[in-house]
Amino acid sequence: SFMPAAVLCYRYLRKSLLSIQRIVSISKSERGPSNLHFTMSGKKFERLPKTAIPSNYNIRLVPNFEKFTFDGYEEIKVNLTAAVEEIKLNSNEIVIQKAIFKVDDQDLTPEVKYYKEQEEVGFKFASRVGPGHGVLQITFTGDLNDKMKGFYRSKYTVDGEERYAAVTQF
């Protein structure tokens, strides 16, 4: 049976989006001299602290091709190896709408702090949390731009008609 290209594209995108495991990540490396790296642009890149170790990511991304934006929801299972005041994630050009850290039958609402120069976001707690296991739940939005970085849009043409796909280089 014949399936229109739009249906095939939708099915492919839906399958692809379901398999994406992260949009932001927690690094497993410790801060230290041996963990200082440089990006392609020559900027210093320092690994995140080892005090928050992820064990599982669950993410949902919903692109809006009319507005070139996306909505996202992520749950990260985290093992806190020590008591922390803040959990940091690598993040760039997304806006956190809501964050909750579930730990020990409590729902904590951290203050969200952006570290734009380091391309990080921090979730700062009113008091120390951990050690132990918890789940960080994040609702966020972003632009589906054409910068080929993070979650972005790519334009293609089918039979003279311009179309877009939401893609990532993860």
pLDDT digits (tens, 9 = 90+) for 116-166: 999 999 999 999 999 999 999 999 999 999 998 889 999 999 999 999 999
Distance CA 91, CA 96 (A): 10
What is the residue extent of each domain of the chain?
5-168
The H or E element that residue 18 is part of is helix 5-19
Strands 161-168 and 151-158: antiparallel
| Residue pLDDT, tens place only, 42-74 | 666 677 889 999 999 999 999 999 999 999 999
H helix or E strand, kind and range, residue 151 = strand 151-158
Assigned fold of 5-168: Immunoglobulin-like (2.60.40)
